[in-house]
Amino acid sequence: GYFGARIAGPIASLMIEKYLTKNVKRKDLEKKMIEKSLEDEYAKPYSGRPFSINK
């Protein structure tokens, strides 16, 4: 799915890396995932405007 590929997958890979090595080497990806927000996606149904899913 859309968010699985863009958010859940990278987060899972960071979690596995941290578990196996006790460290995260991909700091750029870690920063991107920490700063990512789905607030706009959650607000769509409450906006009163038509919206498409996963866009």
**In the chain, how many domains are there?**
1
> Considering the domain boundaries, does residue 55 fall inside one?
no
| pLDDT confidence of residue 37 | 92
| pLDDT confidence of residue 10 | 96
N- to C-terminal Cα separation, the chain = 12
| pLDDT confidence of residue 55 | 65
- The CA distances from residue 18 to 22, 42, 45, in Å, are 5, 29, 35
1-55 pLDDT per residue, tens = 688 889 999 999 999 999 999 999 999 999 999 999 989 888 989 999 998 877 6
> Considering the domain boundaries, does residue 13 fall inside one?
yes
Q: Determine the Cα–Cα distance for residues 36 and 51; give it in Å rounded to an integer.
A: 21
pTM: 0.75
At 49 the three-state DSSP class reads coil
> Considering the domain boundaries, does residue 51 fall inside one?
no
| pLDDT confidence of residue 32 | 97
Q: Determine the Cα–Cα distance for residues 26 and 41; give it in Å rounded to an integer.
A: 26
> Considering the domain boundaries, does residue 34 fall inside one?
yes
> Considering the domain boundaries, does residue 52 fall inside one?
no
- Domain range for 25 is 2-46
